[in-house]
Amino acid sequence: MNDRIQEKEKTILTGSIQVVVNGRPVAVPPGSVVAAAIALAGITQFRRSVSGLPRGPFCGMGVCMECCVTIDGQANSRSCLTLCANRMDIRTDE
C-alpha cells in the first residue's frame, strides 16, 4: 500500500466529530450512528418502557424502536439509524 493511501486512511480513522450526550461532549468517528455515541459516553439506558423498565438498542436496524432518544429536540428518534453530526444534541431518559 502506498504512503498516500495509508495517510488518507489514518485521517479517516483519527478524525472525529463532537456530539453532546446528556450535556457531556463526546468525540466520535465520522460515520458513527447516535447509538454508538451514546455507548461511547458509557450510557446503557436509552429510554424507559411504559412500565418504567430501562431500555436500550435491541435490533440495531430500526425495527424494535428500543433505541429511541431525543436528537436536536426531536423526540422518539431512532439512534441506531441516525448518523452523528457535529454539535448534535442527544438526550436519553437517563
Taking the complete model, does pTM exceed 0.85, yes or no?
A: no
Burial of 21 (0-12, 13-18, 19+ CB in 10 A): buried
C-alpha cell at 20: 453532546
Q: Which run of H or E residues covers position 89? A: strand 88-91
Helix (H, G, I), strand (E, B) or coil at 40: helix
What CATH number matches the domain at 16-91, 3.40.50.1970, 3.40.50.2300, 3.40.190.10, 3.10.20.30?
A: 3.10.20.30
Confidence of residue 10 (pLDDT cuts 50, 70, 90): low
- Which residues have a Cβ under 8 Å from the Cβ of 74 and sit 6 or more positions away? none
Average pLDDT estimate for 21-36: 97
Q: Tens digit of pLDDT for each residue in 38-78? A: 999 999 999 999 999 999 999 999 999 999 999 999 999 99
Mean pLDDT calculated for residue range 16-35:
97
